[in-house]
Amino acid sequence: MTQALHTLLEHAERQRNDALALLLQAEEAARRLQQQALQLLAYRDEYRQRQPGLGGHSVTIDVLRSHHDFMQRLEQAVTQQQGQTAQAETRVSTRRAALLALETRVASVRKLMERRSKDLLRSHERQEQRLSDDAAQHRSRSDSPLGSAWSGQAEALPLAPH
């Protein structure tokens, strides 16, 4: 097996391992963002339930306005968090696709190495078989009286009358 193929395989495996590490980081970041989004949604729902004036209590306009303004900021935060979570999920998908491509590349290089190894083995076996056949043929020629005549080493044999 050539050193170039081993080097190629090592390089492909290194790239694959790096891509796997990046994917794991992206998945962790997406998980954290999703958890933050859930917490933010729960807080928004809880704050909404504490809306002043519910249950017939009278409140000032300033308190209602303050509550309303804060709810708007919470909605903006939820929207922003959802955008960040969607971007994180996109990064995960992109990194997963990159990892799959690199896994395919590693498998392809291994398959190529396997094929080359089998081809080399077959070639070696064919060469050994040829040498064995040549040796057997040479022995057969040198062992038979007729074979000796063919090789030019035998004495002339008398022909029997018919």
| DSSP H helical ranges for 1-60 | 3-49
Q: pTM of this prediction?
A: 0.68
pLDDT value, residue 161: 61
pLDDT value, residue 149: 52
pLDDT value, residue 157: 56
Sequence-ordered list of residues with C-beta below 8 angstroms from that of 37, at least 6 positions apart, any chain: 78, 81, 82, 85
Using a 10 angstrom Cβ sphere, with 0-12 exposed, 13-18 middle and 19 or more buried, the burial of residue 146 is exposed
**CA separation for the pair 127, 122 (Å, rounded):** 8
pLDDT bracket for residue 58 (50, 70, 90): confident
Average pLDDT of the segment spanning 137-145: 76
The top-level CATH class assigned to 3-111 is mainly alpha
pLDDT bracket for residue 32 (50, 70, 90): very high
pLDDT value, residue 52: 80
**Among 4, 29, 12, which residue's Cα sits nearest to residue 101?**
12
* pLDDT of 151 higher than 90: no
Give the residue carrying structure tokens 């590490």: 21
Residue 2 near residue 109, CB atoms below 8 Å: no
More confident residue, 152 or 80: 80
pLDDT bracket for residue 43 (50, 70, 90): very high
Domain boundaries, the chain: 3-111
Average pLDDT of the segment spanning 108-130: 93
pLDDT value, residue 142: 76
